[in-house]
Amino acid sequence: MPRYEEDWRRRFTEWDVDEEDDQPRPAVVKPDPAPAEETHEPRPIQVVLDESGAVRDVVIPENWRETTSPRELGPALLDAANRALGNVVAAQVEAFDLGSAPEQPVVARRDAPDAGGDPTSPIAEALVNEALDLFSRYDRDLEAYAAQVRQAATATSRGAGGNGRIVVTMTGGRITGVEADPRWAVTARYTEVRVEALSAFRAAGRGSAATRSIALPASITRLQELASDPEALSRQLGLSR
Q: Domains of the chain by range and CATH?
A: 41-93+119-236 (3.30.1310.10)
Per-residue pLDDT of the chain (241 residues; tens, 9 = 90+): 555 555 555 555 554 445 445 555 544 444 455 555 555 677 899 999 988 888 999 999 999 999 999 999 999 999 999 999 999 888 888 877 666 655 655 555 566 788 888 889 998 899 999 999 999 999 999 999 898 888 877 888 899 999 999 999 998 888 999 999 999 999 999 999 999 999 999 999 887 776 666 788 999 999 988 888 888 888 888 888 7
Burial grade of 30 (CB within 10 A; 0-12, 13-18, 19 or more): exposed
Which helix (H) or strand (E) segment is 160 a member of? Answer: strand 156-160
Q: How far apart are the two ends of the chain, measured CA to CA in Å?
A: 148
Say if residues 60 and 75 touch (Cβ distance below 8 Å).
no
CA-based diameter of the chain, in Å?
A: 158
- State whether the Cα torsion 188-190-192-196 is positive or negative: positive
∠ CA 61-66-70, nearest 5°, is: 85
**Buried/exposed code over 101-110 (b: 16+ C-beta within 10 A; e: otherwise):** eeeeeeeeee
- Rounded Cα gap, residues 174 and 91, in angstroms: 18
- Rounded Cα gap, residues 16 and 18, in angstroms: 6
Instruction: Tell me 68's DSSP state.
Output: S
- Rounded Cα gap, residues 63 and 79, in angstroms: 18
